[in-house]
């Protein structure tokens, strides 16, 4: 090789090397900046949802805010899961709009949405026989190739501990009981560690102690600036942990406000089509919501027979 081409190829190699020095050794993707305290993360405005030929949600508007536990309640079929799925972007709307961080859901990629909101569906299925730890670790996938991937192991350990599932780490997900699976599924959603967390009946399959644990975790996440939406049937749990309750009835918002304003005998009796009593716990003052029961107690019954 003569001197000139040699000089040219050396200088080309030098340019390439200096350009490479400007690049990170490994691609590190962006992570979303946190939203201000109390700001809206997801907003639905006047949404209709149709499934098959039926309209399920009618002109429904709901705001989801950081720092708040928003509890959705209502009778079976009222549209709670449908609303949660619409807020998550998993259910198309036929009218109105849903915005995430101020932009219509249609403008978001699946990956960018997964960095901002996580969803626990009412039914959790895992196709293959993954272990509990593998299922929870899947929750970290939106953070691959970001600086947050460095936290994967610690986050998985932390959420498995919170959900009391560390002891199932190496067990196949499919070999767990219903409530154990529900806790692993929740741990996976918490591992995703998004600003907005949407949970559809996370306590439905759980014993009393684990129900409280789950709601405490939800409360704690909201206290630390997350926006948490929880679908519940247990109105006493809703009273104890919600900042705000939205009551759905036949696909419409029947009430939206703080628990003390919402949990009234009149409203609940009307919406549930069953007489309801709202009482104050004599010692703690906590709100108790009970269905009114007619007829005799079992002890009266056996005494008379
Ligand atoms: N795939 C579907 N096709 C047609 N209708 C559906 C479909 N899925 C749900 N629905 C209907 O939509 C309505 C709302 O369902 P949704 O699952 O949102 O209720 P929900 O409030 O979550 O009830 P639950 O408390 O039983 O979970 C119900 O009347 C239900 O029958
Ligand atoms: Mg549901």
Question: pTM here?
Answer: 0.88
Query: 20: pLDDT confidence band, cut at 50, 70 and 90?
Result: very low
In the reported structure, the alpha carbon of residue 234 is separated from the centroid of ligand 2 by a whole-number distance in angstroms of 13
In the reported structure, the alpha carbon of residue 92 is separated from the centroid of ligand 2 by a whole-number distance in angstroms of 17
Mutate-to-test residue for ligand 1 from 50, 54, 56, highest number of ligand atoms within 8 A of CB: 56
Strand (E) positions, 212-275? Answer: 227-231, 244-249, 252-257
Of residues 24 and 172, the one with the higher pLDDT is 172
116 has a pLDDT exceeding 50: yes
Q: What pLDDT sits at residue 300?
A: 55
Query: 238: pLDDT confidence band, cut at 50, 70 and 90?
Result: very high
Task: Give the whole-angstrom CA distance, residue 226 versus residue 239.
Answer: 19
Least confident span in 22-36, 260-274, 275-289: 22-36
Q: What is the mean pLDDT of residues 242-247?
A: 98
Nearest residue to 68 via CA among 214, 187, 195: 195
Task: Give the whole-angstrom CA distance, residue 266 versus residue 222.
Answer: 30
Q: What is the mean pLDDT of residues 115-124?
A: 93
Pairing of strands 196-200, 117-120: parallel
Nearest residue to 70 via CA among 255, 231, 267, 260: 231
Q: What pLDDT sits at residue 1?
A: 46
248 has a pLDDT exceeding 70: yes
| Any atom of ligand 1 within 6 Å of the Cβ of 186 | no
302 has a pLDDT exceeding 90: no
pLDDT digits (tens, 9 = 90+) for 130-157: 999 999 999 999 999 999 999 999 999 9
| Any atom of ligand 1 within 6 Å of the Cβ of 123 | no
pLDDT digits (tens, 9 = 90+) for 269-291: 999 999 999 999 999 989 999 99
Q: What pLDDT sits at residue 74?
A: 97
Domains in the chain: ranges and CATH: 29-116+194-274 (3.40.50.300), 128-190 (no CATH)
Percent pLDDT > 70 in the chain is 87
26 has a pLDDT exceeding 50: no
Are the C-beta atoms of 91 and 82 separated by less than 8 Å? yes
Q: What pLDDT sits at residue 19?
A: 45
Note every long-range contact of 97-104, with CB atoms under 8 Å and residues 24 or more positions apart, other chains counting: 97/44, 97/45, 97/46, 97/47, 98/42, 98/43, 98/44, 98/45, 98/47, 99/42, 99/43, 99/44, 99/45, 100/41, 100/42, 100/196, 101/32, 101/35, 101/41
Q: What pLDDT sits at residue 16?
A: 47
Helix, strand, or coil here: 176? coil
Q: What pLDDT sits at residue 154?
A: 98
In the reported structure, the alpha carbon of residue 263 is separated from the centroid of ligand 1 by a whole-number distance in angstroms of 23
CA 43 to chain centre: 15
In the block, residue with structure tokens 């009778």: 75
Q: What pLDDT sits at residue 163?
A: 97
Mutate-to-test residue for ligand 1 from 52, 58, 74, 79, highest number of ligand atoms within 8 A of CB: 79
CA-248 nearest atom, ligand 1: 21
């Amino acid at each position: 090789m003569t001197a000139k081409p040699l000089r040219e190829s050396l200088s080309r190699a030098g340019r390439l090397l200096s350009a490479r020095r400007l690049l990170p050794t490994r691609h590190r993707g962006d992570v979303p900046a946190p939203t201000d305290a109390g700001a809206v993360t997801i907003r639905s405005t006047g949404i209709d949802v149709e499934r098959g030929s039926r309209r399920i949600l009618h002109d429904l508007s709901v705001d989801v805010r950081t720092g708040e536990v928003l509890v959705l309640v209502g009778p079976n079929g009222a549209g709670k899961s449908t609303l949660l799925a619409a807020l998550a972007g998993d259910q198309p709307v036929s009218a109105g709009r849903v915005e995430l961080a101020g932009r219509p859901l249609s403008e978001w990629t699946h990956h960018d949405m997964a960095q901002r909101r996580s969803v626990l569906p009412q039914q959790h299925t895992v196709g293959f026989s993954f272990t509990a730890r593998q299922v929870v670790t899947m929750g970290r996938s939106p953070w691959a190739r970001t600086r947050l991937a460095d936290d994967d192991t610690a986050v998985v350990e932390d959420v498995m501990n919170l959900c009391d599932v560390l002891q199932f780490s190496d067990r196949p997900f499919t070999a767990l009981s219903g409530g154990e699976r529900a806790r692993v599924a929740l741990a996976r959603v918490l591992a995703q560690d998004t600003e907005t967390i949407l949970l559809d009946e996370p306590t439905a399959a759980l014993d009393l102690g684990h129900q409280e644990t789950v709601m405490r975790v939800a409360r704690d996440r909201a206290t630390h600036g997350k926006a948490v939406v929880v679908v519940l049937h247990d109105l006493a749990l809703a009273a104890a942990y919600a900042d705000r309750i939205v009551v759905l009835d036949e696909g419409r918002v029947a009430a939206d406000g703080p628990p003390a304003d919402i949990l009234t005998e009149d409203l609940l009796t009307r919406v549930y089509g069953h007489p309801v009593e709202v009482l104050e716990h004599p010692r703690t003052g906590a709100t108790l919501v009970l269905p009114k029961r007619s007829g005799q107690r079992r002890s009266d019954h056996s005494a008379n027979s």
